[in-house]
Structure 1
Amino acid sequence: MSRLVVVSNRTGDPRNPAAGGLAVAVGESLRQTGGLWFGWSGKIQDEHGDEKAHYDDVHAQTVGDVQLVTLDLSRRDYETYYLGYANSVLWPVFHYRLDLADFDIRFVAGYRRVNELFARKLLPLLRSDDLIWVHDYHLIPLAAALRALGCGNRIGFFLHIPMPPPLIMAAIPEHEWLMKSLFAYDLVGLQSESDVTHFCHYVESEAHAERLSRERLRAFNRTLRVGAYPIGIDIDEFVRLAEAKDGRDMFLRMREEYSRRRLLLGVDRLDYSKGLPQRVEAFRELLARYPENRNRATLIQIASPSREKVGAYDDLRRQMDSLCGAINGDYGELDWMPVRYIHRNVARKRLPGLYRASRVALVTPLRDGMNLVAKEFIAAQDPADPGMLVLSRFAGAAEQLKEALLVNPYDIEGTAQAIERALTMSADERIQRHDALLSRIRKHDVHWWCSTFLQALKHVEQDVACGPTPHHEGL
């Protein structure tokens, strides 16, 4: 059996599936085959005059059958690769926010440099039959760097964030190089069919790629398979969290505290892609348009700190502080605060109880690759009396979760109307919608995602997975 090698910006602990994120997604597959997980340690080494100090060592530890291998970054590489190109260029552009992108030429040099560093340090650890699975926008050119060093392994890539349409992608300086790098992979997985359409339109129009079949494209002397592999959650593990002490305690505490009120919930990172100001404005519109919700409905908005060293996030935090304070000032009573805004992390083990106590979940990003909060909310509900999901049509999850109430988050009035509908929906309709949603997320859970992607990678045509890739000089 081929060993699995996972490469991501940060590694996780495969012993802790309750940690969320990538650890849940790939931990089981790594444990099944034994494997290697490679990425940045999260540590920053100041160079002190020696520019190569952080290049010299990798740090390895063995966890069961999984080897975790990490390396440190220099301050320069952290600022140009991570804060710079990954989070000040790719993140805003891929989320359609060209106005927030910073196209500093130093950033792309740092991005290339770190991907080359990853390739050089990973290559000696590889076996000839390893399957390599690279994750997310931080490492788009990693396969090209590996191919340039002679790596002939099958390499797959999964993009966790949205793929923008061609004209938005074309705003990135050197976008041609970036997209050409994807053809060094054998399989590229995207979150939604919409993302696949955007990618195919880009390479057909900009790179004159030949469409060999529905999922196979030919360009730059390489054949690439591309497909939609929507990521899911580990439902059974999440249910176990809900039934554990912390989950039960949270549910009982919230149910008691809000016994006279209906609870609306948002759980997000503090990020401009999540549509948080628009969501709060929609809640204000709900109170203004449907006054029966005053003193009866409370919005708990959790906004975990995120990338606080990037300037746009400071602006967003100030905006949220102002909006939430204004609503509480205008509508609050001595015994009722309309919005409870929490700008800190909430332990994952407590979230299932909070989900279950909520009548409505507001998952209304302006753009999102998938959004697993939507799926976690569904999994946590009482099937006999489920809450309702209000979901942005611009989240990747909307392609699967059609029984949710889909909204345009830019339409404040329309979102408020959807929230009111969710709050007043009959039990029979809520149960019917929840049954359909739960069935779908159970069928396409995280195990389906892992196994489907890896099986596709294993069976990529042999003539595709062969040797160094041309046309990537200078990477």
Structure 2
Amino acid sequence: MGRLVVVSNRIAPPDNKASAGGLAVGVLGALKAAGGLWFGWSGELGNEERPLQEVTRGNITWASFNLSEQDYEEYYNQFSNAVLWPAFHYRLDLVAFQRPAWEGYLRVNALLADKLLPLLKEDDIIWVHDYHLLPFASELRRRGVNNRIGFFLHIPFPTPEIFNALPPAETLLEQLCDFDLLGFQTENDRQAFLESLASQSGVTDQNDRQHSACGKTFRTDVYPIGIEPEEIARQAAGPLPPKLAQLKAELKNVKNIFSVERLDYSKGLPERFQAYEALLENYPEHRAKIRYTQIAPTSRGEVQAYQDIRHQLETEAGRINGKYGQLGWTPLFWLNQHFDRKLLMKIFRYSDVGLVTPLRDGMNLVAKEYVAAQDPANPGVLVLSQFAGAANELTSALIVNPYDRDEVAAALNRALTMPLAERISRHAEMLDIIVKNDIHRWQERFIDDLRQIPPRGEEGLRQTHAVS
């Protein structure tokens, strides 16, 4: 069994305990099983010509590189985050396509392929992650790499009407066909990719999951990413820090609605605030008896769209509190700051309602974490957007359309008044799914499927540095 080589935009350094959650857990589990290499950007800007920084722990090696300021700006900010991110989240109005940024995106993917090439062995399998690296397999193929190469997209894939509006859509689709296995969060995402490809070049289905397009053969499948439910339950059930224990005591007669998201326009935060206002307006019996806390740390703060949403939320929070607040009761707490992950799991546990209503999300692991953190004997209720990938699995949540403020308000009212027996039943059904499809199951399925695909050439890896 060959090594596993994981390629992602950023790596989680081996000595950084703070990054031991989320994707890092699954990647490290896969790497430990086979031994291998995690290759990605260090997060530092500097001379990209400097040698790779390599650290080995046991059977895993971390290899990282720096990006120049120009590469970071064009590849990361201007194309990955100002073109692909908004388009893949159905926000064409926020796409700012610039030809130099597209050229920078291609240049950096080619640069990374050059850096990885000398590290590869003939029987390695390569697992590439996310939208920053759509052309990566194509660049490796141009360098003679015939190893198995898989790709997993963590965010949604948009419908053809959206994707094909991108100027380099046809090129990106052809580059994606150089992967042997393309993994998506949901069946809708998989179908959207195939439909986009069919509209550009035509696709021949050899069977249900194997396809030919652009003269290449590849497989597609759905791999909903999971979490570590046992670890989250352990963190949530531990003793409360003194300040949190004091807060819980102060709020013992108040029901808590809780939400935590990265500050991003895809998360539906303004719509969420408006839905909470509709709850206070339509169901006045809850006034002074509930509190909604929204944690949303700043993300990509240098981008104008993110500055705009922050100002909008500040304005809305002040307006709602001014309209409905009373002496001794503040309806809405909006915290634009980062909190430790372990603390959040404890907050999840004593929250009566988890409100997770993105306008579009690949999966949304917060929804799964909220369920895993609950006390099974007295669980809270999850209100979940139909446009989050998690809604395909967590069907016992209260599923809502985040654009319908009154529907979300009605779901919040139902959650706040739901009988204990129904809460326990819904929670048990969701937790069972989360345990079965945890982060380890996710990576095992993907890696097993990738290993079953024959390499593209019998000659294996040809150490050819020439680029056709």
State whether TM-score is above 0.5: yes
Q: Which residue of 2 aligns with 1:191?
A: 185
Question: Is the 1:278–1:410 Cα contact (8 Å) retained in structure 2?
Answer: yes
What is the DSSP-based 3-state SS (H/G/I as helix, E as strand, rest coil) of the residue aligned with 1:259? coil
Q: Which residue of 2 aligns with 1:150?
A: 144
Q: Which residue of 1 aligns with 2:273?
A: 280
Whether 1:230 aligns to 2:230 is no
> Which whole-Å CA distance do the structure 2 matches of 1:65 and 1:315 have between them?
46
Give 1:18 deviation, angstroms.
6.5
Give 1:14 deviation, angstroms.
5.2
> Which whole-Å CA distance do the structure 1 matches of 2:238 and 2:449 have between them?
36
Q: Which residue of 1 aligns with 2:171?
A: 177
> Which whole-Å CA distance do the structure 2 matches of 1:465 and 1:354 have between them?
54
Out of 116, 119, 123, the residue aligned to residue 129 of structure 1 is 123
Q: Which residue of 1 aligns with 2:26?
A: 25
1:437-463 per-position Cα deviation (integer Å, ceiling 9, x unaligned): 000010000010000000000001445
What is the DSSP-based 3-state SS (H/G/I as helix, E as strand, rest coil) of the residue aligned with 1:432? helix
Q: Which residue of 2 aligns with 1:115?
A: 109
Question: Is the 2:12–2:19 Cα contact (8 Å) retained in structure 1?
Answer: no
Deviates more, 1:365-374 or 1:63-72: 63-72
Distance 1:227 1:111, change over 3 A: same
Deviates more, 1:454-463 or 1:308-317: 454-463
Question: Is the 2:146–2:457 Cα contact (8 Å) retained in structure 1?
Answer: no
Q: Which residue of 2 aligns with 1:50?
A: none
What is the DSSP-based 3-state SS (H/G/I as helix, E as strand, rest coil) of the residue aligned with 2:296? strand
> Which whole-Å CA distance do the structure 1 matches of 2:376 and 2:460 have between them?
52
Whether 1:213 aligns to 2:213 is no
Whether 1:258 aligns to 2:251 is yes
Q: Which residue of 2 aligns with 1:376?
A: 369
> Which whole-Å CA distance do the structure 1 matches of 2:294 and 2:313 have between them?
10
Question: Is the 1:25–1:446 Cα contact (8 Å) retained in structure 2?
Answer: yes
Structure 2 residue identity aligned to 1:216: Q
Give 1:182 deviation, angstroms.
0.8
1:374-394 per-position Cα deviation (integer Å, ceiling 9, x unaligned): 000000101111100000000
Distance 1:249 1:163, change over 3 A: farther
1:232-260 per-position Cα deviation (integer Å, ceiling 9, x unaligned): 00112212222344x56676344313101
Give 1:33 deviation, angstroms.
2.1
> Which whole-Å CA distance do the structure 2 matches of 1:163 and 1:154 have between them?
23
1:331-368 per-position Cα deviation (integer Å, ceiling 9, x unaligned): 11221111111101110011111001100011000000
Percent identity for Structure 1 against Structure 2: 47
Aligned length: 464
Question: Is the 1:254–1:354 Cα contact (8 Å) retained in structure 2?
Answer: no
> Which whole-Å CA distance do the structure 2 matches of 1:373 and 1:250 have between them?
23
Whether 1:347 aligns to 2:340 is yes
Question: Is the 2:121–2:461 Cα contact (8 Å) retained in structure 1?
Answer: no
Give 1:468 deviation, angstroms.
9.1
> Which whole-Å CA distance do the structure 2 matches of 1:21 and 1:403 have between them?
23
Distance 1:417 1:105, change over 3 A: same
Structure 2 residue identity aligned to 1:84: Q
> Which whole-Å CA distance do the structure 1 matches of 2:186 and 2:457 have between them?
24
Distance 1:467 1:127, change over 3 A: closer
Distance 1:267 1:299, change over 3 A: same
Distance 1:14 1:25, change over 3 A: farther
What is the DSSP-based 3-state SS (H/G/I as helix, E as strand, rest coil) of the residue aligned with 1:77? helix
Deviates more, 1:253-262 or 1:227-236: 253-262
What is the DSSP-based 3-state SS (H/G/I as helix, E as strand, rest coil) of the residue aligned with 1:390? strand
TM-score (norm 1): 0.94
> Which whole-Å CA distance do the structure 1 matches of 2:75 and 2:102 have between them?
7
Deviates more, 1:24-33 or 1:214-223: 24-33
> Which whole-Å CA distance do the structure 1 matches of 2:189 and 2:458 have between them?
24
Give 1:288 deviation, angstroms.
0.6
1:89-122 per-position Cα deviation (integer Å, ceiling 9, x unaligned): 0000000000001011111011001101110000
Distance 1:267 1:375, change over 3 A: same
Structure 2 residue identity aligned to 1:31: K
> Which whole-Å CA distance do the structure 2 matches of 1:64 and 1:242 have between them?
30
Deviates more, 1:20-29 or 1:184-193: 20-29
Give 1:4 deviation, angstroms.
1.0
> Which whole-Å CA distance do the structure 2 matches of 1:20 and 1:57 have between them?
28
Give 1:199 deviation, angstroms.
1.1
Structure 1 residue identity aligned to 2:6: V
Q: Which residue of 1 aligns with 2:407?
A: 414
> Which whole-Å CA distance do the structure 1 matches of 2:355 and 2:11 have between them?
30
TM-score (norm 2): 0.96
Out of 377, 386, 390, the residue aligned to residue 383 of structure 2 is 390
> Which whole-Å CA distance do the structure 1 matches of 2:93 and 2:185 have between them?
24
Distance 1:257 1:442, change over 3 A: same
Q: Which residue of 2 aligns with 1:363?
A: 356
Question: Is the 2:233–2:374 Cα contact (8 Å) retained in structure 1?
Answer: no
What is the DSSP-based 3-state SS (H/G/I as helix, E as strand, rest coil) of the residue aligned with 1:455? helix
Distance 1:101 1:387, change over 3 A: same
Question: Is the 1:186–1:465 Cα contact (8 Å) retained in structure 2?
Answer: no
Q: Which residue of 1 aligns with 2:283?
A: 290
Q: Which residue of 1 aligns with 2:158?
A: 164
